[in-house]
Amino acid sequence: MKTYVPKQTEINREWWVVDAQGLTLGRLATEVASRLRGKHKPSFTPFLDTGDHVIVVNAEKVELSGRKLETKTYYRHSGYPGGLQETTAGELLASHPERLCEKAVRGMLPKGPLGRQMARKLKVYAGPSHPHEAQQPQALELPGAARRA
């Protein structure tokens, strides 16, 4: 029995739009990362990028469970001595809500060139509008994410 490996010409990429309003960040990120990898397709191959493009809108209205807004910390380093800077999830959500969603999804993608290629297909916007109407994205309802009223 031979193993099927899709060729680049056989990979069909679709566009999905997800409304993040009222969704939990981690549950949103797992579904988006799965779509970016292509795990929802029968032609999924772990070492190829077979995934779709995903647009996340209303990133500023995403929710975090528990006390993560105050306790979850993101670190970055300038490369200089004493250059470690830390930001809480609440500060990041207030200043750059797109980065909060991007970081959550990137952490769930493969590390290395393949993961970076998959991450380029993710578009995150803080508000409800996006400039990708020409691609005719389909609305994606997330089954695993519990919407809060």
pTM of the model: 0.90
Which pLDDT score is estimated for 148? 53
- Find the radius of gyration of the CA atoms of the chain: 17
Q: How much is the pLDDT for 143?
A: 66
Q: Is the pLDDT of residue 31 over 50?
A: yes
Is the pLDDT reported for residue 112 higher than 70?
yes
Q: Which of 71, 50, 58, 82 is nearest to 139 (CA)?
A: 58
Amino acid at 49: D
40-80 pLDDT, tens per residue?
999 999 999 999 999 999 999 999 999 999 999 999 999 99
Confidence of residue 133 (pLDDT cuts 50, 70, 90): very high
Is residue 88 one of the residues assigned to a domain?
no
pLDDT for residue 125 is more than 70 = yes
Say how many domains are in the chain: 1
Residue 43 maps to which CATH number?
3.90.1180.10
Residue 112 in any domain: the answer is: yes
User: Do residues 38 and 115 make contact, with C-beta atoms less than 8 angstroms apart?
Assistant: no
Q: Is residue 5 part of a domain?
A: no
Dmax over CA atoms of the chain, in Å, equals 57
The string of DSSP codes covering 1-53 is -PPP---GGG----EEEEE-TT-BHHHHHHHHHHHHHTTTSTT--TTS----E
Note whether residue 71 is domain-resident: no
- For residue 101, give the DSSP letter: H
Give the burial class of 124: count Cβ atoms within 10 A of its Cβ; 0-12 exposed, 13-18 middle, 19 or more buried: buried
Q: What is the pLDDT of residue 83?
A: 98
Q: 125 in a domain, yes or no?
A: yes
pLDDT for residue 145 = 52
- At 146 the pLDDT is 52
Q: Does the pLDDT of residue 33 top 80, yes or no?
A: yes
In contact, 101 and 20? CB cutoff 8 Å: yes
Residue 20 lies in a domain: yes
pLDDT digits (tens, 9 = 90+) for 74-100: 999 999 999 999 999 999 999 999 999
Instruction: Inform me whether the pLDDT recorded for 144 exceeds 50.
Output: no
Alpha-carbon distances of 23 from 95, 147, 148, rounded to whole Å: 19, 6, 7
Answer whether residue 23 is part of any domain: yes
Q: 99 in a domain, yes or no? A: yes
Q: What percentage of the chain exceeds 90 in pLDDT? A: 92
Residues 16, 23, 71: CA angle, nearest 5 degrees: 125
Q: What is the domain extent for residue 134?
A: 14-65+93-139
